[in-house]
Structure 1
């Protein structure tokens, strides 16, 4: 059983952690990883595109398959264009349905108050669009630089942790929620199995978070993380034009704050 869990974790580490359900597994990347370990085709991750399909084929020692096509153009790294959701805030009625739908808690707001999407955290999964009763959410291209492999691993680990924290909170609130559930029922038994697994981390470059070890990210921390990421990008852009020792020190401090907030 431990070997099977390790294989699923290794597969899951290759997936982009958008938790979008486009592969057919609406409750996230981990269930698709489990299904692939049991024989399902490894070319269904649309956000991962051909690079992920090829990496999975190599890992699983299977023939290379053409990745299922995305509706978005292909980036320089061979993956589909990264997208971000934005809310036309003047049209938002504050229904909170998009907040419950977001798998990584990238939307903030309260009932009958305007909502906003923290675009730095948005994965472009599209899950917030369908529940919106006034159709005020759009997808736009993410014009940030395509991340390298090291940054992508950091992003995926962060998204995985945010999703597991989201699951924990949603399960606690499920019995009290009024109205329809906009996401699929979560396979809590699967995630629980990984939280109780004693298997070690597979690769020193990949951090595997589990529901049992996560601390839910509250709204204050989410906003603080978004602010720090914004400052980091601003300073990096300024330093790319002109080097400045003081700004370089500020950038280092922001990176340190970011690591502390993320529990690094």
Structure 2
């Protein structure tokens, strides 16, 4: 591995992998890492905030610069408030435009069927919002506790892998697609250089579990599973604040439905 590639990897490892394009590089963190290695300012990562700007300055032995400001308030860790996308499901028309826009495949659904955001994977990049023709996607604050550094690294590695898999799939579609290309041209040579060093991840056709692998679930079942998990998480959060017998019963019923679908 040459020194330039190694430097790009070191820079990319510090970026949050939100793939939001707010740095000015529409195709995500890796192109920005490449640009930084060639001299571009290292303070443009909005979701990374001042901690990432400072870490990059230290890595590159450059003078620290103020991070690009965010519209969201700053958290205790110095980064802007993490946000998550939320689809108002009763308003969703199933157009699939948000699914194609999501860089880490955090939205599932099928044509003319309701879509759901897998909140654990959502980076809050906001890229799903502009394509939505009925404006049924909101951004809400991530109420989960701040992650440890090890957890951040694990999340970043997972998001990076998902994004590379997304890029590979979209490029294959682009080659075969007729009609206009709606996104900027991807630097395929750059992505190929790095994506072949990782194990590509599957989209959502394969769901891995500790004791078994569920393969080939139809889209309607996948959608129902995602909806149940979202309802379960919502109830669990509510019950963590205040106990309610009716909600506890409903939670047990939802768990039973989830187990039946996964059986």
TM-score of the superposed pair, with normalisation by structure 2: 0.77
Q: Note the C-alpha offset of 1:219.
A: 3.4
RMSD: 3.0
2:14 maps to 14
Where structure 1 has 5 or more consecutive residues not aligned to the other structure, the ranges are 197-208, 240-264
1:1-264 alignment to 2 at 5 Å? 2-177=2-177, 181-195=181-195, 210=198, 213-221=199-207
- Provide, for residues 35-91 of structure 1, a one-character-per-residue CA deviation record: whole Å limited to 9, x for no partner: 000000000000000000000000000001000000000001000000000001111
Contact kept in structure 2, 1:118 and 1:226, CA below 8 Å: no
Contact kept in structure 2, 1:14 and 1:52, CA below 8 Å: yes
Contact kept in structure 2, 1:17 and 1:28, CA below 8 Å: yes
Whole-Å separation in 2 of the counterparts to 1:81 and 1:48: 10
Contact kept in structure 2, 1:19 and 1:27, CA below 8 Å: yes
Whole-Å separation in 1 of the counterparts to 2:227 and 2:156: 16
Whole-Å separation in 1 of the counterparts to 2:229 and 2:88: 24
With over 3 angstroms needed to count, the CA separation of the structure-2 counterparts of 1:162 and 1:185, relative to structure 1, is same
Rg comparison, structure with higher value: 2
- Provide, for residues 186-221 of structure 1, a one-character-per-residue CA deviation record: whole Å limited to 9, x for no partner: 21110112246xxxxxxxxxxxx53xx313333342
Whole-Å separation in 2 of the counterparts to 1:96 and 1:63: 44
* Higher relative contact order (CA closer than 8 Å, sequence separation 6+): 1
Contact kept in structure 1, 2:18 and 2:124, CA below 8 Å: yes
**SS in structure 1 at match of 2:207:** helix
**SS in structure 2 at match of 1:86:** strand
Whole-Å separation in 1 of the counterparts to 2:226 and 2:11: 28
Contact kept in structure 2, 1:120 and 1:226, CA below 8 Å: no
Whole-Å separation in 1 of the counterparts to 2:180 and 2:128: 14
**How many residue pairs get matched?**
227
With over 3 angstroms needed to count, the CA separation of the structure-2 counterparts of 1:194 and 1:101, relative to structure 1, is same
Contact kept in structure 2, 1:84 and 1:140, CA below 8 Å: yes
Contact kept in structure 1, 2:162 and 2:201, CA below 8 Å: no
With over 3 angstroms needed to count, the CA separation of the structure-2 counterparts of 1:230 and 1:111, relative to structure 1, is closer
Q: Note the C-alpha offset of 1:164.
A: 0.5
With over 3 angstroms needed to count, the CA separation of the structure-2 counterparts of 1:158 and 1:195, relative to structure 1, is closer
**SS in structure 2 at match of 1:175:** helix
Whole-Å separation in 1 of the counterparts to 2:183 and 2:53: 26
